[in-house]
Amino acid sequence: MRAGLALAALALALSLALAAWRRRRRPVREVLFFPSPPRCTEALLAEAAGSGGAARPCPCPLPRGDCALGRLLRRLLSARRSLELCLFAFSSPQLGHAVCLLHRRGVRVRVVTDAQYMGLPGSQIGLLRRAGIQVRHDQESGYMHHKFAIVDRRLLITGSLNWTTQAIQSNRENVLVVEDAEYVKPFLEEFERIWEEYNPVNYRFFTQRQ
Amino acid sequence: MRAGLALAALALALSLALAAWRRRRRPVREVLFFPSPPRCTEALLAEAAGSGGAARPCPCPLPRGDCALGRLLRRLLSARRSLELCLFAFSSPQLGHAVCLLHRRGVRVRVVTDAQYMGLPGSQIGLLRRAGIQVRHDQESGYMHHKFAIVDRRLLITGSLNWTTQAIQSNRENVLVVEDAEYVKPFLEEFERIWEEYNPVNYRFFTQRQ
């Protein structure tokens, strides 16, 4: 009788553990492919800004609906505490708008970029700086060619996509959205390494005083 | 007595299942960061070619040892059946050598590349074609900007890295090595989609006959 009870308890515990294991949240694993057809992303940005985008529809003639850029924006706009950006080229107005929104919402935004590309026409880097966002850049002859973002230190967004309208609308590109720690951790470490290395105290624009 | 036996059997089955679950092979999840310092990769390539590289050391003055390029080469050279390459720019002689080696070893190699970049000085695309490897390219104004490889339809290698010596030795770059099917499957589908779209029968270099 006692053994029977123990058997039943064991079976119950086993099935509960199995159910919990099945229910555990699977890590986010998403792939976005570009080009992304031109779509209106105003509602998405207005909603994130809390200005009731749904109530006042955007008058622009672009079609609405799901697209790779919209899904990328949604992942970015999910940031609540921090956003690290390590971007070779950044000129997409929609992505620039999203990053400024997050900064205004109190998210700690840090940007690392490439010195040769940050001054090109259409670059969002100046806008970010004027908004008060910290930006650091390389001083090297090689490119700072990464194109990744880390949301809340747990979600990595990385791929071939430079954050430019040309890349988004015309190129074949890929972006991976990754939550597995085996990827997020080394990218966070790479960001912190570059962030420290590109600290302005290390800049050497002028000849050292003898 | 019978319940006791059943209990023991259940406990045994449970512990065996748990041990098997713990032993199951974890999927490959690796991150490579560049720049990769110049290192001699001849031994690696000679070993893969079966010409006994270990016995006759390379006379070049480059240091030996582990580096990101060496690890990337090792992953590529692990191909036994197929290699899909979808590359914006491909001018690294070491990576070109590795791909030709795989082709000679009987691996089915297919390459998709960008029309504007494939003819640049140092491009490996002509060498691959002369070796008999199938290459297809875009016809679009946008770039074919992907930089990924798929080994044996199960291992995805993707990131910011163009396969050029400049990128490998001078740029900040990342490469992810991924075995999770959630990533490998969509990239395989993207490759097949592009491969068909870039089929030479679809090329429109000349004005259509009226």
Q: Is residue B61 part of a domain?
A: yes
Residue A130 belongs to some domain of the structure: yes
Does residue A209 lie in a domain region? no
Any residues with CB less than 8 A from the CB of B155 and at least 6 apart, and which?
B28, B75, B78, B177, B178, B179, B184
Q: CB contact, 8 Å: B13 with chain A? A: no
Helices B42-49 and B93-104 cross at an angle (nearest 10°) of 10
Cα-based angle B85, A171, B75 (whole degrees, multiple of 5) = 25
| pLDDT in the model for residue A207 | 53
pLDDT digits (tens, 9 = 90+) for A138-170: 988 899 999 999 999 999 999 999 999 999 999
CB < 8 Å to A186, chain B: 31, 33
| Distance in angstroms (rounded) separating the CA atoms of residues B149 and B158 | 7
Does A80 map to a domain? yes
CA neighbor of A148 nearest in space, from A130, A174, A168, A127: A174
**Of the partner residues B145, B160, B172, the one whose CB lies closest to the CB of residue A171:** B145
Contacts of B144 in chain A (CB under 8 A): 171-172
Verify whether the Cβ–Cβ distance B170 to A146 is below 8 Å.
Answer: no
Alpha-carbon distance A141 to nearest alpha carbon in chain B (angstroms): 8
- Distance from the Cα of residue B137 to its chain's centroid: 18
The DSSP bridge pattern shows strands A147-151 and A134-137 to be unpaired
Q: Domain for residue A184, yes or no?
A: yes
CA distance linking residue A141 with residue A116, whole number of Å: 9
Identify whether B207 is part of a domain: no
Searching chain B, which residue's CA lies closest to the CA of residue A176? Answer: B183
Q: In B, which residues are within 8 Å of A190 by CB distance?
A: 33, 174
Residue B127, Cβ density class (10 Å: 0-12 exposed, 13-18 middle, ≥19 buried): middle
Taking a C-beta distance cutoff of 8 angstroms, is the pair B95, B74 a contact?
A: no
Alpha helices in chain A (DSSP H): 2-23, 42-49, 68-77, 93-104, 125-130, 165-170, 181-197
The two tokens of residue B181 are: 């099917």
pLDDT digits (tens, 9 = 90+) for B44-84: 999 988 865 556 788 889 999 899 999 999 999 999 999 99
Confidence label for A205 from pLDDT (cuts 50, 70 and 90)? low
CB contact under 8 A, B138 and A172: yes
CB neighbour burial string for A132-156, b if at least 16 within 10 angstroms, e if fewer:
ebebbbbebebbbbbbbbbbeeebb
Q: Which residue has the tokens 């429109």?
A: B204
Distance from CA of A55 to the nearest CA of B (A): 36
> Distance (Å, rounded) from C-alpha B65 to C-alpha B163?
20
Q: Does B88 touch chain A (CB under 8 A)?
A: yes
Rounded CA separation B85/B104 (Å)? 16
Q: Which residue of A138, A161, A170 is in closest CB contact with B142?
A: A170
Shortest distance between the Cα of A160 and any Cα of chain B, in A, equals 5
Quick one: CA dihedral B62, B72, B166, B83, positive or negative? positive
For residue B179, being part of any structural domain is answered with: yes
Report which of B124, B120, B115 is spatially closest to residue B94, judged by C-alpha positions: B124
Chain B residues whose CB is inside 8 A of the A71 CB are none
Four-residue CA torsion sign, B67, B69, B73, B75: positive
> What ipTM was predicted for this assembly?
0.88
- What is the secondary structure of B73-119 as a DSSP string? HHHHHT-SSEEEEEES-B--HHHHHHHHHHHHTT-EEEEEE-TTTTT
Q: pLDDT by residue for chain B (210 residues), tens digit each?
A: 688 888 888 888 888 888 887 777 889 999 999 999 999 999 999 998 886 555 678 888 999 989 999 999 999 999 999 999 999 999 999 999 999 999 999 999 999 999 999 989 899 999 999 999 999 999 888 999 999 999 999 999 999 999 999 999 999 999 999 999 999 999 999 999 999 999 999 887 655 554
User: Given strand B82-87, what is the order of strands in its sheet?
Assistant: B29-34, B173-178, B155-159, B147-151, B82-87, B108-113, B134-137
On whether any CB of chain A is under 8 Å from the CB of B187, the answer is yes
A66 is catalytic: no
Q: What pLDDT is stored for residue A210 in this prediction?
A: 47
Give the span between the Cα atoms of B4 and B16, in whole angstroms.
Answer: 18
Q: Model's pTM, two decimal places?
A: 0.89
DSSP per-residue string spanning B45-72 = HHHHHTS-TTTS-----S--S--HHHHH
CA distance A101 to chain B (A): 27
C-beta neighbour count of A43 within 10 angstroms: 17
CATH number of A120's domain: 3.30.870.10
Active site residue A138: no
Range of the domain at A160: 26-202
Contacts for A61-64: CB closer than 8 Å, 24+ residues apart? A62/A38, A63/A37, A63/A38, A63/A39, A64/A39, A64/A40
Please confirm, yes or no, whether B145 is among the known catalytic residues.
Answer: yes
- The percentage of chain A sitting over the pLDDT mark of 70, rounded to a whole number, equals 94
B145 with A160: Cβ contact below 8 A: yes
- pLDDT for position A7: 84
Q: How many domains does chain A have?
A: 1
**Residue B12 located in a structural domain:** no
Average pLDDT of chain A, as a whole number: 92
What's the CA gap between B158 and A175, in Å, rounded?
Answer: 10
Which residue in A45, A201, A199, A49 sits closest to A134, CA to CA? A199
